[in-house]
């Protein structure tokens, strides 16, 4: 069977090119060995189910373990109609899985009880009877728990498992050795999903769980294992180390995006190349361009924007981080920040709130600037009559900044300073968008210790332009900003940079200066 890069469903070793996740599985198995209960909570399309199935396969090979893999994803809501129905359903699917994977096993949960008599205490007794008779380490894996956690009945079920967990040191083999739940939300923070008036119903049903700290991102070394498989099987030449680093640069190791970038190169870009036996860095750049096109969509992007648009406060927070460079500590106790972490919008492992990866960030730039254009926060026709590139397709950054200065003078000179401080950077990015759209990209790069500046790296036909957006805070801060921009230009080996300064003084001048700073040429434009 011809292998492919997978971007839907479970990855299967014989059918898909896969990252070697052996170390991750070993780290998860160590938690099981230590009899831990936990939830693998990560955003959508993060490889959770694939990892779960690999873990299940590993446990099936161990004689001292018995593992049952369940999922409530396809369950009818009728399953949660009442305790009797739920318990009967749990027993049915438990026994079905038992027969499927352990056909010689003769001990089952009792299905002969009358459903009107089944309660959680009787199900609890059955579990105790089963685990004591079988004398094995019984591990329960439950996938797609998010749908179930909307239901108070399922939370009572978890509460029953918690009570048995707390008693297991007194009664060995009286309950499951380990229970692993898989979903987007952490059951311990289920309040993120429910309405405020329902929160009082939650009574820490899963406070026995340990934190799941296994890093599910793919690092460059792990990405290289997938590229090596592909290279050897399809006889494709590539610098695996450099390509892996570049894929990681754009994806931050987000599993779906890693596979998707490779799939685009293999199935869309490679067939159009003259040399179809080689991958290079330009292929990765073109794959990125393909994924961030505004007219390209996939489920992961749809979910991303749906989650933002469905919560006005979350929308405002993400916009502040993406557009205004807001620098906030990544505080898991903050409701909105944790929600952004849960949905995969922010990188939960970062010290400060930052967008998970460059692909998400570029799509969000497009999202917010499109929103601004659609709401007529500026008129795109303002700049359509002008050309902003030279004959050899070099971007004319001085002209762009001067035109934006003129635009602000004519349209926003009388606006209140608070509005400009809040929306000025979005106005500039929206202004820039039609100029570079389809050819170039702009990134907000992280700043160090100064939340009042935002570095923008514009890539246009393989040329980098370094621009810093800054609010005027006086001459001392101005000199500090020039020094920071100079250092940042050194990182990119550039001698020319640009500084766009938002000045809110009533007697401000709409001016520009050519500044020689150290060995750099910097054009500063005030608006």
- Is residue 78's pLDDT more than 90? no
Tell whether 141 and 228 lie within a shared domain: no
Q: What is the pLDDT of residue 262?
A: 98
User: For residue 275, what are the CA distances in angstroms to 271, 281, 488?
Assistant: 9, 14, 36
The answer to the question of residue 211 being in a domain is no
* pLDDT band at residue 202 using 50, 70 and 90 as cut-offs: very low
For 153-206, the DSSP string reads: HHHHHHHHHHHHHHHTTTSTTSS-SEEEEEESS-GGGGGGTS-GGGGGG---TT
Q: What is the pLDDT of residue 294?
A: 73
More confident residue, 462 or 243: 243
**Structural domain ending residue among the three candidates 238, 263, 292:** 292
Beta-bridged to residue 502, according to DSSP, are: 471
**Structural domain ending residue among the three candidates 270, 292, 314:** 292
The answer to the question of residue 185 being in a domain is yes
Q: What is the pLDDT of residue 203?
A: 52
Q: Which of 433, 513, 497, 434 is nearest to 465 (CA)?
A: 497
Tell whether 197 and 60 lie within a shared domain: yes
**Structural domain ending residue among the three candidates 173, 201, 229:** 201
Q: What is the pLDDT of residue 414?
A: 63
**Contacting residues for 55 by C-beta, under 8 A, at least 6 apart:** 25, 28, 29, 32, 141, 180
Q: Which of 4, 160, 10, 15 is nearest to 73 (CA)?
A: 10
Rounded CA-CA distance 90/130 in Å is 14
CB atoms within 10 A of CB 519: 9
Tell whether 46 and 180 lie within a shared domain: yes
For the domain that residue 115 is a member of, what is the CATH number?
Answer: 3.40.50.300
Domain span including residue 104: 22-201
Q: What is the pLDDT of residue 23?
A: 95
Q: What is the pLDDT of residue 65?
A: 96
Rounded CA-CA distance 211/247 in Å is 29
Q: Torsion angle of alpha carbons 432, 436, 441, 444, nearest 10°? A: -10
Q: Please give the average per-residue pLDDT across 154-169, as a whole number.
A: 88
Q: What is the pLDDT of residue 445?
A: 59
Q: What is the pLDDT of residue 284?
A: 95
For the domain that residue 278 is a member of, what is the CATH number?
Answer: 1.10.8
Lowest mean pLDDT among 59-73, 266-280, 457-471, 510-524: 457-471
Q: How many domains is the chain partitioned into structurally?
A: 3
Angle between helices 152-167 and 120-134 (to 10 degrees): 40
More confident residue, 143 or 148: 143
- HSE-CB of 54 using CA atoms within 13 angstroms: 21
User: For residue 470, what are the CA distances in angstroms to 168, 363, 416, 492, 502?
Assistant: 60, 23, 18, 20, 6
For 65-107, the DSSP string reads: EEEEEEE-TT--GGGGSSHHHHHHHHHHHHHHHHHHH-TT---
The answer to the question of residue 176 being in a domain is yes
Beta-bridged to residue 183, according to DSSP, are: 41
* pLDDT band at residue 415 using 50, 70 and 90 as cut-offs: low
Tell whether 160 and 284 lie within a shared domain: no
Q: Which of 55, 50, 118 is nearest to 82 (CA)?
A: 118
The answer to the question of residue 139 being in a domain is yes
Tell whether 384 and 432 lie within a shared domain: yes
Cα of first residue to Cα of last residue in the chain, in angstroms, is 61
Angle, CA of 42, 45 and 148, to the nearest 5°: 60
Q: Please give the average per-residue pLDDT across 389-394, as a whole number.
A: 76
Q: Are 301 and 293 in contact (CB under 8 A)?
A: no
Tell whether 266 and 153 lie within a shared domain: no
Highest mean pLDDT among 27-41, 104-118, 157-171: 27-41
The answer to the question of residue 53 being in a domain is yes
- pLDDT tens for each residue of 303-328: 999 999 999 999 999 998 888 778 88
Q: What is the pLDDT of residue 119?
A: 77
* pLDDT band at residue 195 using 50, 70 and 90 as cut-offs: very low
CB atoms within 10 A of CB 286: 17
Q: Are 443 and 457 in contact (CB under 8 A)?
A: yes
Q: Give the rounded distance of the alpha carbon of 129 from its chain centre.
A: 42
Tell whether 195 and 226 lie within a shared domain: no
Q: Please state, rounded to an integer, the average pLDDT across all residues of the chain.
A: 85
Q: What is the pLDDT of residue 109?
A: 81
Tell whether 286 and 196 lie within a shared domain: no
Tell whether 184 and 242 lie within a shared domain: no
Tell whether 228 and 114 lie within a shared domain: no
More confident residue, 442 or 216: 216
* pLDDT band at residue 384 using 50, 70 and 90 as cut-offs: low
The answer to the question of residue 268 being in a domain is yes
Tell whether 35 and 181 lie within a shared domain: yes
Q: Please give the average per-residue pLDDT across 104-132, as a whole number.
A: 78
The answer to the question of residue 40 being in a domain is yes
The answer to the question of residue 224 being in a domain is yes
Tell whether 186 and 52 lie within a shared domain: yes
130 SS3 class: helix
């Amino acid at each position: 069977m011809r292998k492919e890069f997978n971007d839907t469903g479970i990855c299967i070793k014989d059918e898909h090119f896969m990252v070697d996740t052996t170390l991750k599985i070993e780290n998860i198995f160590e938690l099981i060995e230590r009899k831990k209960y936990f939830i693998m909570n990560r955003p959508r399309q993060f490889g959770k189910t694939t990892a779960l199935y690999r873990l299940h396969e590993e446990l099936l090979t161990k004689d001292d373990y018995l593992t049952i893999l369940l999922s409530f994803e396809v369950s009818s809501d009728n399953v949660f109609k009442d305790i009797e129905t739920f318990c009967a359903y749990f027993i049915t699917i438990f026994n079905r899985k038992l027969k499927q994977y352990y056909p010689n096993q003769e001990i089952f949960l009792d299905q002969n009880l009358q459903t009107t008599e089944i309660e959680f205490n009787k199900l609890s007794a059955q579990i105790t009877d089963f685990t004591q008779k079988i004398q094995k380490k019984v591990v329960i894996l439950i996938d797609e728990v998010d749908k179930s956690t909307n239901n108070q009945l399922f939370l009572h079920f978890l509460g029953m498992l918690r009570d048995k967990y707390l008693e297991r040191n007194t009664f060995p083999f009286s309950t499951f050795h380990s229970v692993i739940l898989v979903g987007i939300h952490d059951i311990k923070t289920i309040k993120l999903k429910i309405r405020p008036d329902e929160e009082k119903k939650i009574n820490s049903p899963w406070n026995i769980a340990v934190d799941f700290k296994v890093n599910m991102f793919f690092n460059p070394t792990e990405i290289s294992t997938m590229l090596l498989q592909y290279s050897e099987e399809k006889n494709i030449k590539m610098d695996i180390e450099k390509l892996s680093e570049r894929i990681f640069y754009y994806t931050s190791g987000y599993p779906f995006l890693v596979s998707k970038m490779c799939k685009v190169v293999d199935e869309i870009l490679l067939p159009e190349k003259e040399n179809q036996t080689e991958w290079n860095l330009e292929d990765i750049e073109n794959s990125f361009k393909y994924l961030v096109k505004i007219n390209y969509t996939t489920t992961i992007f749809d979910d991303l924007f749906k989650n933002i648009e469905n919560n006005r406060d979350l929308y405002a927070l993400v916009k502040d981080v993406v557009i205004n460079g807001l620098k906030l500590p990544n505080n898991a106790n903050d409701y909105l920040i944790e929600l952004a972490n849960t949905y995969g919008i922010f990188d939960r492992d970062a010290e400060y709130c930052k967008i998970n990866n460059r692909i998400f960030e570029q799509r969000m730039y497009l999202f917010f600037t499109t929103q601004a254009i659609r709401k007529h926060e500026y008129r795109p026709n303002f700049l359509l009559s002008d050309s902003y590139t030279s004959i050899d397709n070099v971007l004319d950054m001085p002209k762009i900044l001067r035109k934006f200065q003129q635009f602000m003078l004519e349209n926003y000179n009388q606006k209140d300073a608070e509005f400009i401080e809040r929306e000025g950077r979005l106005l500039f990015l929206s202004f820039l968008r039609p100029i570079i759209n389809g050819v170039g990209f702009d990134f907000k790069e992280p700043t160090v210790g100064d939340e009042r500046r935002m570095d923008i790296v514009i890539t246009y036909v393989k040329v980098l332009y370094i621009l810093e957006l800054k609010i005027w805070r006086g001459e001392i801060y101005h000199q500090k900003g020039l020094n920071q921009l100079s250092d940042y230009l050194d990182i990119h080996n550039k001698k020319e940079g640009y500084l766009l300064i938002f000045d809110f003084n009533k007697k401000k001048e709409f001016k520009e200066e050519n500044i020689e700073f150290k060995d750099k040429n910097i054009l500063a434009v005030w608006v």
